[in-house]
């Protein structure tokens, strides 16, 4: 494993651990974890396995320690996890496309895009699975309307955590210019 992968994997673990600390609803590192994974791991299997595996492990801790009173038994997967993980995978792909070259405008655009992808995909899953929303166009619209307050926190979290992820990765890259980062040099 090259140094870039090791540093990013450590940052992914640290970010996942922050989910265990008190924070506003949906103000989480999830979108930034996926975006940075796509940007720095590229389009390979590790780009998906590392962040999804770390996210799943943090879900185990969150669901079975912090939110255990909401469940009757041990929770292996968060309810609706398929939609959440699908949105996470889509954000990884977004990061691999938009952030081939890292810059402030691209990170900002990627973070907003990550929030939008998560909002659309996860709430579509809520609409399909929650009996409170009729499976009609009106039901879908109401579902998205009900999620708007959470979207604000998602955007704020994605912007803050993306700034931290990309800032730390680029600072480390500059500070350790002698490291090859696994890239070919002329």
* Contact call for residues 132 and 146 (beta carbons, < 8 A): no
pTM for this prediction: 0.87
pLDDT tens digit sequence for 9-67: 999 999 999 888 888 888 999 999 999 999 999 888 989 999 999 999 999 998 898 88
Report residue 133: phi and psi, to 5°: -110, 115
The predicted-structure confidence for 111-159, as pLDDT tens digits, reads as follows: 999 999 999 999 999 999 999 999 999 999 999 999 999 999 999 999 9
C-alpha angle 49/53/58, rounded to 5°?
155
CA angle 102, 105, 109 (to 5 degrees): 95
Domain boundaries along the sequence of the chain = 3-21+28-175
Number of DSSP helices (H) and strands (E) in the chain, helices first:
6, 0
């Amino acid at each position: 494993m090259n140094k870039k992968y090791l540093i990013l994997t450590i940052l992914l673990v640290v970010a996942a651990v922050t989910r265990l600390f008190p924070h506003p609803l949906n103000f989480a590192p999830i979108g930034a974890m996926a975006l940075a994974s796509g940007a720095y791991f590229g389009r390979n299997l590790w780009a998906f396995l590392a962040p999804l595996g770390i996210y799943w492990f943090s879900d185990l801790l969150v669901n079975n320690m912090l939110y255990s009173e909401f469940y009757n038994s041990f929770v292996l997967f968060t309810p609706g996890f398929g939609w959440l993980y699908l949105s996470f995978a889509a954000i990884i792909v977004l990061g691999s496309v938009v952030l081939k070259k890292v810059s402030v405008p691209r990170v900002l655009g990627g973070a907003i895009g990550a929030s939008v992808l998560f909002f659309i995909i996860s709430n579509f899953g809520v609409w399909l699975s929650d009996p409170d929303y009729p499976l009609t166009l009106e039901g879908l619209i109401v579902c998205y309307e009900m999620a708007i307050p959470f979207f604000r926190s998602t955007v704020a979290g994605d912007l803050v955590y993306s700034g931290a992820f990309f800032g730390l990765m680029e600072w480390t890259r500059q500070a350790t210019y002698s490291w090859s980062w696994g890239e070919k040099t002329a």
